[in-house]
Structure 1
Amino acid sequence: MNFTFNNPVNILFGSGKINLVGEECKKFGKNALIVTGANSTKKSGLLQKVQDLLAKENITSFVADNIPQNPTTDAVMLAAKLARENNCDMVIGLGGGSSLDAAKAIAFMAKHEGHVSEYILAKRTTNGTCLPVIAVPTTCGTGSEADCFAVLNDTATNDKRTLRQMITLPQVSIVDPDLMRSMPESVLRSVMFDAFCHNLEGYISRHASPVSEMFSLKGVELFAENMPKLLNDLNDKAAWDAICLASTFGGFSLQSAGCIAVHGIEHPVSGLRNVIHGKGLAAVIIPVLEQTIACCPKRFAVLSKILGGNNENDFLDQVEKIRNMLGLNDRLQDLGVLEHDLPWLAKNALEVSKTLLSNHPLSYTEQEILAMYKKAF
Structure 2
Amino acid sequence: MTNRYYMPTKVFMGDECILENSEVFKALGKKALIVTGAQSAKRNGSEKDVKNALDSVGIQYQVFDKVMSNPTISCVYEGASAARENGADFIIAIGGGSPLDAAKAIALLAAQTIEEGNLFSGNYQDKVLPMAFVPTTAGTGSEVTQYSILTNDKAQTKTSIASDLIFPTIAFLDARYTEYLGVATTINTAIDALSHVVEGMLSVKASLISDALAAAGIQRIMACVPILLQAVRSGRERVFDLQHRQELLQASFMAGIVIAQTGTTAVHAMGYSLTYFQGIDHGRANGLLLGEYLKLVEKVRPDLAAKILNAMNFSQAEQFLELMNKLLGPKEDISRNDLEQYSKMAVQTKNIANCVVKPSEDDIRTMFIQAFRQ
Q: Which residue of 2 aligns with 1:288?
A: 293
Q: Which residue of 1 aligns with 2:338?
A: 341
User: Which of 240-249 and 222-231 deviates more?
Assistant: 222-231
Code of the aligned partner of 1:252: I
Displacement of 1:29 in angstroms is 1.2
Pair 1:359-2:364 in alignment:
no
TM-score with structure 2 setting the length: 0.91
CA distance 1:235–1:278, change in 2 (3 Å): closer
User: Which of these residues, 140, 144, 169, is aligned with residue 171 of structure 1?
Assistant: 169
Identity of aligned residues (%): 28
Displacement of 1:238 in angstroms is 2.8
Pair 1:315-2:353 in alignment:
no
Conserved in 1, the CA contact under 8 Å of 2:18 and 2:49?
Answer: no
2-structure distance, mates of 1:28, 1:208: 33
Displacement of 1:279 in angstroms is 1.3
CA distance 1:155–1:60, change in 2 (3 Å): farther
User: Which of these residues, 254, 274, 282, is aligned with residue 277 of structure 1?
Assistant: 282
CA distance 1:284–1:330, change in 2 (3 Å): farther
Q: Please list the CA deviations of residues 19-78 of structure 1 after superposition, one character each: whole Å capped at 9, or x if unmatched.
A: 246322221111111111121112234323322321222212111212122121111111
CA distance 1:295–1:340, change in 2 (3 Å): closer
Conserved in 2, the CA contact under 8 Å of 1:308 and 1:318?
Answer: no
User: Which of 134-143 and 340-349 deviates more?
Assistant: 340-349
Displacement of 1:81 in angstroms is 0.8
Q: Which residue of 1 aligns with 2:308?
A: 303
Conserved in 2, the CA contact under 8 Å of 1:134 and 1:171?
Answer: yes
Displacement of 1:375 in angstroms is 2.4
Q: Which residue of 1 aligns with 2:234?
A: none
Conserved in 1, the CA contact under 8 Å of 2:33 and 2:62?
Answer: yes
TM-score with structure 1 setting the length: 0.91
2-structure distance, mates of 1:175, 1:110: 25
Q: Please list the CA deviations of residues 273-295 of structure 1 after superposition, one character each: whole Å capped at 9, or x if unmatched.
A: 33211111122223333212123
Conserved in 2, the CA contact under 8 Å of 1:73 and 1:117?
Answer: no
CA distance 1:369–1:79, change in 2 (3 Å): same
Displacement of 1:235 in angstroms is 4.8
**How many aligned positions are there?**
365
CA distance 1:117–1:345, change in 2 (3 Å): farther
Displacement of 1:258 in angstroms is 1.5
Displacement of 1:205 in angstroms is 1.2
Partner SS state of residue 61, structure 2: strand
2-structure distance, mates of 1:45, 1:178: 9
CA distance 1:21–1:33, change in 2 (3 Å): farther
Conserved in 2, the CA contact under 8 Å of 1:283 and 1:330?
Answer: no
1-structure distance, mates of 2:299, 2:340: 27
User: Which of these residues, 353, 363, 376, is aligned with residue 371 of structure 2?
Assistant: 376
Which structure 1 residue ranges, 4+ long, deviate > 6 Å from structure 2?
A: none
Partner SS state of residue 136, structure 1: strand
2-structure distance, mates of 1:306, 1:211: 15
User: Which of these residues, 268, 271, 274, is aligned with residue 273 of structure 2?
Assistant: 268
2-structure distance, mates of 1:261, 1:167: 25
Q: How does 1:1-377 map to 2 (within 5 A)?
A: 2-20=2-20, 22-116=22-116, 118-122=118-122, 125-229=123-227, 232=230, 234-309=239-314, 311=315, 314-324=316-326, 326=327, 328-333=328-333, 337-351=334-348, 354-377=349-372
2-structure distance, mates of 1:23, 1:64: 23
1-structure distance, mates of 2:114, 2:255: 32
Partner SS state of residue 142, structure 1: coil
Partner SS state of residue 362, structure 1: coil
1-structure distance, mates of 2:329, 2:183: 16
2-structure distance, mates of 1:143, 1:323: 24
Displacement of 1:156 in angstroms is 3.4
Q: Please list the CA deviations of residues 63-103 of structure 1 after superposition, one character each: whole Å capped at 9, or x if unmatched.
A: 12121221211111110111111111111110001111111
Displacement of 1:322 in angstroms is 4.2
Displacement of 1:360 in angstroms is 1.2
2-structure distance, mates of 1:279, 1:29: 38
Conserved in 2, the CA contact under 8 Å of 1:73 and 1:153?
Answer: yes
Q: Which residue of 1 aligns with 2:233?
A: none
CA distance 1:117–1:12, change in 2 (3 Å): farther
2-structure distance, mates of 1:16, 1:45: 11
Structure 2 residues not aligned, in runs of 5+? 231-237
2-structure distance, mates of 1:20, 1:103: 23
Conserved in 2, the CA contact under 8 Å of 1:295 and 1:361?
Answer: no
CA distance 1:82–1:360, change in 2 (3 Å): same
